Structures are given as structure tokens and as C-alpha cells.
Structure 1
């Protein structure tokens, strides 16, 4: 059951990313970097998800001074395939043109991405390297997810600008709200999933 929620979280996460890309209002700085690389260098957005993840796994290992968590590549592969699949499916059916539909796509994507991230993180199995980096910074800086996530977003924003990624009002909103949404979803998903994953006697009401 744990792995079912793990995959479900990743599927929701990749759907949220795809919705934000298709909204044309801007994506998270990390995803803007992936799109910028895909457009200007080649390969697909999902392929760059895996490549950048491999680099981050090395960085995380150095920060934690431990062996690389190679299982993070498995997560990145699932998300990468999910992003490319959702982009293929959604772009072939509905493409937002009017501003209100773009806003709807972006808002839905931001919420779905936050929910998916919270679900798969709570399974505590092979986090995406960028999310693992978020948790590492949270521990190192002794702050919360909002602060650590924002620090990472600013760093990737600079890289996305270099590679001409889709930066827009949505990017600013993601930087400002992404950490808050994740921080809000984490306790809710924790309580919900614990009722399913843990023995009833160990669940605190």
C-alpha cells in the first residue's frame, strides 16, 4: 500500500507540472530550467528531469556526507515519464488560450503538484533529489519547508533565466506560494495516510 501511494503522489506531481507548463503563465523555477534545457539544448522535459536529478543526487550526497541515494533516480524516471506523458495527453486535448483558462490550468497545477509532493514525501521512499535537497536545507538551516523551498527556488530561477526557461507571473507565484502549499498539505496528508498505512493502535487521533 505504501508504494501505491508513492506512485500516486508522483503521478499527481507530474500532472501538476504538466498543467503549469501548458498554462503558459510560467512554471516553478526548477521546471522552467527543465523546459529551457529541452527547448534550447534538446531532449524532452522528462529526460532533463532525470539528468538534473542525477546531478542533484551527487550534490545531496556531498552535503550529507554519505553515499548517493541512487533510488532517487527511480523517482526521477517515474516523474520524467509522467511529465512527458501528461504533456502529450493534455496538449492533444485541451490547450488553454484565454487568460482565465490559463489561470485555471496554473492554479490546478500548483495545487496538484503540492498535494502529490506531500503524498509521496510522506511515504519516505526515494524522494526526488530536489525535494531531498529541500529536506536537507531544512535540517541544515533549522527552518521550515517554506524557507528551504524558497532558497532552492531562487537558485533554480537564476539558472532558468540563463537557459531562457518559461519565466512568468506563475513563476513568481510558485516561489511565493509553493513552499506554503507544501507546508499546508504535509500535516493533512500525514494524518490521512497514517490512518491507512499504520496499525490503528499506533495512530494518534
Structure 2
């Protein structure tokens, strides 16, 4: 990996961060609209929307804010600004994509699974790209890292436990928990393991090239 000045060129890192969240949000909506099972968290957001109204994106923001506060109180440390920005932008982007009339559930089962797999890949690469901007973890990752710091448990164990609990809550309130939810939970770690190093290399190249051009000027 190329060396990169993490404190330099906030503009390009913010662009990388925002583009990554935009792509990830598109993936989230494809997973929801495929109707074969959303992610555990998004199944919870959809379930809350079906019961209480508002919008799916609004519940994404509300749940994110609650998780951020819970993690911050637990470790007595405020999260980075990127965590708040993550929460707000994902909620807005999700509602934007859900509002678009041409994103519809395919009529055939094969089409639904194709949409699901496309959403899974976009979700993983979008998440990896926003992380590579190095502006802070999102609300769920902030909470997970808080538990790691306090309890010393393995990241994989904590993440798996959180996902199972959220999936159970989503199922209880009638969220779209189905076979796709389990497929997502099984595959997302593997795909991110491939996409994150790729996105980090790409972001480091973009940031370093930008910094080099500024130094030449």
C-alpha cells in the first residue's frame, strides 16, 4: 500500500467518503427491493417504517444516532465527525434511491436474486471505499469497536452477535428477514475482505496523486 498523508487533503478524502456511502446506499436499496431478504439492520429499518411510518432513511438515521450515543456513553468518548456524517448521508441516500420509480422488484425469482447479488457487491465495495477515505467508522462499527475496547472480545464474535440480535428484532417486528438476509451475513465478510484492500489502494493512489499535483504547483 502506498504511504498516504491521512491528515492532508480533506477535500479529496471527503469526496471518497461520500461516493462510497452513495454506492453503498444504492446497494442497500437493491437488497431491499430484491425482496429476498434485506441486511439485518435494513430489515429492522424497514420493519420500523412499516409500523411507525416516516421513511426507511429516517429510521436509518434514528437507529444510527441511538447506536452512536450508546457506544459513546459506554466508552465515554465522542465519535469522529465522520460517524455523524455517515449516519445522515446514508439515510438521505437510501430515501433518494427508494424514491426513484425505476428501481422495482424484478418479476422473476432469478431477476430478484440477480438484483440481490448486485446489491451485495455494491454494498461491499461502497462500504470499503468510504472506509478508505479514513474519516471515521459508521455508527454500527463505532459501537462494535467500543465493545472491543471495553470487553476485549474478538471483532468477528461481536459483529456476529450484534447481527444475530438485530436480525431477531427485525423478524419480531415483521421486517424483511428471509434467506437473503442469511446469505448476506455469510458472504459480506468475504467480499469486504477482497474489496477493502482494493479500495484502499485506489484511494491511496488518488490522494497521493492529488497531493503531488498540489506540491508541484
The alignment's TM-score, normalised by the length of structure 2, stands at 0.83
TM-superposed CA distance for 1:59, in Å, is 1.5
Q: Write the mapping of 1:57-68 to structure 2, written as runs, cut at 5 A.
A: 57-68=68-79
Shift of 1:138: 5.4
Name 2:37's counterpart in structure 1. Answer: 26
Q: Distance in 2 between matches of 1:192 and 1:154?
A: 33
Q: 1:186 corresponds to which residue?
A: 196
C-alpha contact (below 8 Å) 1:57/1:69 kept by paired residues: no
User: Counterparts of 2:148 and 2:129 in 1: how far apart (Å)?
Assistant: 18
1:61-119 alpha-carbon deviations (Å, 9 max, x no partner): 13333135465232211111111111121x43543120011001100001100111111
The total of aligned residue pairs comes to 200
- Report how far residue 150 of structure 1 moved: 2.3
How do 1:34-113 residues align onto structure 2 when only pairs under 5 Å count?
34-69=45-80, 71-89=82-100, 91-113=101-123
d(CA) in 1 for partners of 2:207 and 2:157? 29
Equivalent-residue separation in structure 1 for 2:103 and 2:95 (angstroms): 15
Relative to structure 1, the CA distance from residue 119 to residue 93 in structure 2 (aligned partners, 3 Å threshold; closer, same or farther) is closer
Where 1:77 maps in the other structure, the secondary structure is: helix
- Assess if the C-alpha contact under 8 Å between 1:23 and 1:102 holds in 2: yes
Q: Which protein is bigger by CA-based radius of gyration? A: 2
Q: How far 1:128 moved relative to its partner?
A: 2.0
SS in 2 for 1:198: helix
Inter-CA distance 92–129: structure 2 relative to 1 (3 Å threshold): same
Match of 1:196 in 2: 206
Shift in Å, 1:142 = 5.6
CA RMSD of aligned residues (A): 2.3
**Residue of structure 2 equivalent to 1:117:** 127
Runs of 5+ in structure 1 lacking a partner?
none
Find the counterpart in structure 2 of residue 131 from structure 1: 141
